[in-house]
Amino acid sequence: MSAVQDGGVPGPPVALKERAARLFQEHLFAVRGRTDRLFAGLMLGQWAVGILIAVAGPSRGGNVLAALVVGTLLSACPVAMARWRPGAPLTRHVVAVCQALWSSLLIFLTDGRVETHFHIFGSLAFLALYRDPWVLLTASVTTTVDHVLRGTIGAQSFYGGPPPELWRFVEHAFWVAFIDVVLVYSCRGMLRELREVAVRRAELELAREREQAKARELDHALRELSGFQEHLIRVEKLAAVGQLAASVGHELRNPLAAVRNSHAYLSRKLTKDPAGAVDDPRVPQFLGLMERELNACAKIISDLLDFARERPPALQPCPLRPLVDEAIGVVPPRDGVRVINGVPESLPVPNLDKEQFRQVLVNLVQNAVEAMPVGRNGEVAVMAEGGESMPWRIRVVDDGAGIPADVLPKIFEPLFTTKTRGTGLGLAIVANMVQRHGGTISVSSEAERGSEFLIVLPAAAAAQAA
Amino acid sequence: MMEDVAVAPARILLVDDEESLRITLAANLELEGHTVLEAANGEEALRLLEQQPVDVVLTDIRMPGLHGVELLRRIKQERPDMPVVLMTAFTAEELVDDALAEGAFTVLPKPFDVTHALDTVLRAARAPQVLVVDDTEQVARGMVRALSTVGLRARAVYSGEEALASLRSGEYDVCVLDLVMPEMSGPELVSKVRAANLSVAIIAVSGHVVPEMLRRVAAQGAVVCMTKPVPLRELVQAIARVRGRPQQGLQGARI
């Protein structure tokens, strides 16, 4: 066993045995303590009965005094032991001796009535409650010694006549031995049962403890997992922020470099040749270029802010047709590309966040315009239908080159772009804003035939204005 | 005397697909009196190189079609002496390391200070040499030969005195210096170069670790320290990198 403990992991059978033994001892200790207390009560009862018999019984004279002195002694010892040392081995052996002597005292007080001898058997049966064969032995030895002494010294008071023949003494002894055997047998049976019960309880307890340990482990693992998940999300967020910063940084560098170059040229020109600057065609050209590139920078930054800002939409009644007009007006026109507002005048007024939805329309229309192959005429149309308890369906349709099938699933992902200049945020912003309106956006496309972006807003979310 | 060299007009081939960047940089170069040829991509640049005389090429790295580093390789095949300065908006570009190792004069990160860019391009146009200083003649000559394989012009000298005389000529912008030499030691030479206000970047090389000497040269600033044996690729990259740094001596004199 020590080897197992040295190994650090005590085997389950050892743990079970130890625990069963402990439970058995605990149970037995409780039973014996209880029995001690029962005997304490019995002792007091016997004391009272003893005095009663001494006073009213057949014997007279010094009997009363003897009963009082001996009885008090025989009762006080076990009562004190049961009070101060319940469950201790010494207590029950003291109880056994005193109980056997009580039998003797009662027999003496009744002048050796045969019926009073039954008190011995009753006592032995009672002592069997201790489930301890040795206690029965102590009581039996005490009784035997008592019989032998009294049988030879005071036979009158013991057998109710002259000292008996040997066979009568042997018969007495036989019956005591017989009941002892029966009681020892039953004691051992009870102990065996107690042990079995203890083993079963130990098994149960161990199983429960294992379950609890498992539950705790599971709990711990779950907590760890959720912590790890949070960590992962943070890491992913950081990675996304890093990616975003890199993408935006690169996007900003080119326009900034151009602005820097223009500024350097203008300031040098003005320092070196202020008179010539008036006629230099590069001065207005570069001023225009600076404005254009700075606008590009501003656009990139505002895209980024739109993407980063999680503003919930402020819904208010917002007629769609004028909003589409506004959006089309913002998109830089391109030669050969016509943009049509196909939203009917009669369309019911939906509830929208005007700013956000204009941004959605601008991004979609601008993408459509830019998707048109160079040197070919094309058409971009914005259509809408729905309202009156029907979901709203807003479509942006172009007849451009279409979107390749391998690109299509990725177009709403942030930082995905096919343009040479672009942060890859436009459609991600669109998808985000549509979602915040409670709607969905989808795209279908056919090579060389064009693409169609479809926004569906639920009738409830963008409820018709009263 | 250096001022004259610096303002001598150069013919610069500028290659960038970003139009607004190209025309504004070209305008700045022209304002300084240089002739600028513009190309929107690598192919066009190669065509222009065949047709017209060019002193220095200034090209973006990331371009559709023939990218900047590929252009550098093509140019180096035909004309190993042609100085090529690269520009890039991407700091962590794998191509940058290759470009530095394959004989680019240097790489300018965008957006750059126009004055610094002009200064760098003009220094490149002068096609300065690398001075190798080592008392072991074999080592010095071997290094010069190795540098010439990637199109870097270099000369070997074998003592501190010789080195100082050569550096005063203004033909060198980088000095690869062995620290442990008899007579004038490396650190002594460095302090003399600094005292003379010569615009030379110094790459200190030592055979074994001499921390005391390294500390002494490092304390004099603008020194790169490397331990022998120095792989050629790393040496070439180090030379290109120091050439991209602002040159205090020259700049201070000019502005």
On average, the pLDDT of chain A sits at 83
Which positions ≥6 away from A426 have C-beta within 8 Å?
A303, A363, A366, A367
pLDDT at B59 exceeding the cut of 90? yes
Look up the ipTM and state it. Answer: 0.73
Alpha helices (runs of H) in A85-165, residue ranges in sequence order: 89-109, 118-127, 133-153, 155-159
Q: What percent of chain A has pLDDT over 70?
A: 89
Tell me how close the Cα of A291 comes to any Cα of chain B, in angstroms. Answer: 12
Q: Do A254 and B115 touch (CB under 8 A)?
A: no
pLDDT at position B92? 60
Give the residue with greater pLDDT, A305 vs A369.
A369
Q: Do A254 and B25 touch (CB under 8 A)?
A: no
pLDDT at position A63? 64
Q: Do B24 and A256 touch (CB under 8 A)?
A: no
**Is the backbone of residue B64 left (phi > 0), alpha (psi -120 to 50) or beta?**
beta
Q: Which of A290-299, B34-43, B68-77, B181-190 has the lowest mean pLDDT?
A: B181-190
Give the residue with greater pLDDT, A380 vs A154.
A380
Is A282's Cβ below 8 Å from some Cβ in B?
A: yes
Q: Minimal CA–CA distance to B201: which of B176, B228, B232?
A: B176
- What mean pLDDT do residues B191-216 have? 78
Distances (CA, A) of B242 to A43, A425, B100, B175, B213: 110, 38, 11, 10, 20
Is residue B59 within 8 A of residue B45, CB to CB? The reply is yes
pLDDT at position A38? 92
- Alpha-carbon distance A133 to A177, whole Å? 12
pLDDT at position B93? 66
CA B181, chain centre distance (Å): 25
* pLDDT bucket at B228, cuts 50 / 70 / 90: confident
Interface of B with A in 58-117 (CB under 8 A): 64, 89-90, 110-115
- Give the best-scoring range by mean pLDDT among A174-183, A305-314, A424-433: A174-183
Q: Do B111 and A282 touch (CB under 8 A)?
A: no
Tell me how close the Cα of B112 comes to any Cα of chain A, in angstroms. Answer: 7
- What mean pLDDT do residues B35-59 have? 92
Mutation pick from A247, A259, A260, A273 vs chain B, by most beta carbons of B within 10 Å, is A260
Q: Which of A383-387, A411-415, B18-22, B188-192 has the lowest mean pLDDT?
A: A411-415
* pLDDT bucket at A158, cuts 50 / 70 / 90: low
Q: What percent of chain A has pLDDT over 90?
A: 26
- Which residues of B are less than 8 Å from A286 in CB distance? 24, 27
pLDDT at position A4? 41
- Which residues of B are less than 8 Å from A282 in CB distance? 27
pLDDT at A417 exceeding the cut of 60? yes
pLDDT at position A3? 42
pLDDT at position B7? 57
Tell me how close the Cα of A372 comes to any Cα of chain B, in angstroms. Answer: 20
**What six digits make up the tokens of A351?**
């509830």
pLDDT at position A215? 94
pLDDT at position A402? 83
Of A254, A269, A286, the CB nearest to B89: A254
Q: Which of A361-370, B29-38, B135-144, B215-224 has the lowest mean pLDDT?
A: B215-224
* pLDDT bucket at A41, cuts 50 / 70 / 90: very high
Is residue B52 within 8 A of residue B77, CB to CB? The reply is no
Tell me how close the Cα of B187 comes to any Cα of chain A, in angstroms. Answer: 39
Residue A354's Cβ-count burial label (10 Å; 0-12, 13-18, 19+) is middle
Amino acid symbol at A149: L
Q: To which H or E segment does residue B49 belong?
A: helix B42-51
Is A286's Cβ below 8 Å from some Cβ in B?
A: yes
Q: Do B28 and A292 touch (CB under 8 A)?
A: no
Neighbours of A171 (CB within 10 A): 12
Residue appearing with tokens 């979609």: A364
- Alpha-carbon distance A386 to A391, whole Å? 6
Q: To which H or E segment does residue B99 belong?
A: helix B94-101
pLDDT, tens digit, for every residue of A96-122? Answer: 999 999 988 888 888 777 788 889 889
- Which residues of B are less than 8 Å from A289 in CB distance? 20, 23-24
pLDDT at B210 exceeding the cut of 70? no
- Alpha-carbon distance A8 to A41, whole Å? 50
Q: Minimal CA–CA distance to B203: which of B236, B171, B170, B181?
A: B236
pLDDT, tens digit, for every residue of A178-203? Answer: 999 999 999 999 999 999 999 999 99
Interface of A with B in 383-442 (CB under 8 A): 420
Q: To which H or E segment does residue B57 belong?
A: strand B56-60
Q: To which H or E segment does residue A356 belong?
A: helix A354-370
DSSP A413-427: STT---SSS--S-HH
pLDDT, tens digit, for every residue of B8-35? Answer: 788 999 999 888 889 999 999 998 889 9
pLDDT at A420 exceeding the cut of 70? no
Neighbours of A296 (CB within 10 A): 19
pLDDT at A235 exceeding the cut of 60? yes
Q: Which of A79-83, A307-311, A316-320 has the lowest mean pLDDT?
A: A307-311
Q: Which of A298-302, A376-380, B100-104 has the lowest mean pLDDT?
A: A298-302
Alpha helices (runs of H) in A166-318, residue ranges in sequence order: 166-272, 274-279, 282-308
Tell me how close the Cα of B191 comes to any Cα of chain A, in angstroms. Answer: 36
pLDDT at B252 exceeding the cut of 50? no
Tell me how close the Cα of A235 comes to any Cα of chain B, in angstroms. Answer: 21
Tell me how close the Cα of A264 comes to any Cα of chain B, in angstroms. Answer: 6
Q: CA torsion angle for A184, A189, A194, A200 (degrees, to 10)?
A: 160
Of A261, A265, A269, the CB nearest to B21: A261
Of B21, B27, B115, the CB nearest to A282: B27
- Which residues of A are less than 8 Å from B21 in CB distance? 254, 257-258, 261
pLDDT at A162 exceeding the cut of 80? no
pLDDT at position A423? 67
Mutation pick from B17, B24, B112, B254 vs chain A, by most beta carbons of A within 10 Å, is B24
Q: Which residue of B has its CA nearest to A421?
A: B18
Task: Show the CA angle centred on residue A453, arms to residues A448 and A455, nearest 5°.
Answer: 165
pLDDT at position B251? 33
pLDDT at B200 exceeding the cut of 50? yes
List strands edge to edge, sheet with B56-60.
Answer: B35-39, B11-15, B56-60, B84-88, B106-109
**What six digits make up the tokens of A172?**
């007495």
- Which residues of A are less than 8 Å from B114 in CB distance? 260-261, 264-265
